[in-house]
Amino acid sequence: MNTDMNKIESDFAQGQTAGNYRRWLYSLILYLLTPLVLLRLFWRAKKLPAYMRHWQHRFGWIQVPEGFQHGIWIHAVSFGETQAAKPLIARLQELYVDTPILITNSTPTGASLAQHTWGESLFQCYAPYDLPSVVNRFIGRTKPRLAIFMETEIWPNQIHQLQQRGVPILLVNARLSEKSAKGYQRFSALTKDTLNKLTLATVQDEADAARFKSLGMADEKIKVTGSIKSDLFIPPSLVEAGHALRATLGAHRPVVIAASTHEGEETLVLSAFKELTKLVPEVLLILVPR
- Catalytic positions are 81
Sign of CA dihedral 191, 192, 193, 194: positive
Rg of the Cα trace of the chain? Answer: 22
- In angstroms, the Cα distances linking 93 to 70, 73, 78, 87, 238 are 15, 13, 21, 10, 22
- Residue 193 burial by Cβ neighbours in a 10 Å radius (0-12, 13-18, 19+): buried
Backbone angles phi, psi at 73, to 5 degrees: -100, 125
Residue 221 CB coordination number (10 Å) = 16
Helix (H, G, I), strand (E, B) or coil at 138: helix
Residue 278 CB coordination number (10 Å) = 7
Using CA atoms, how far apart are residues 168 and 154, in angstroms rounded to an integer?
14
Q: Which residues contact 4 (CB under 8 A, 6 or more apart)?
A: none
The dihedral formed by the CA atoms of 13, 19, 23 and 25, expressed in degrees to the nearest 10? 90
SS3 content of the chain, % helix, strand, coil (to 5): 60, 15, 25
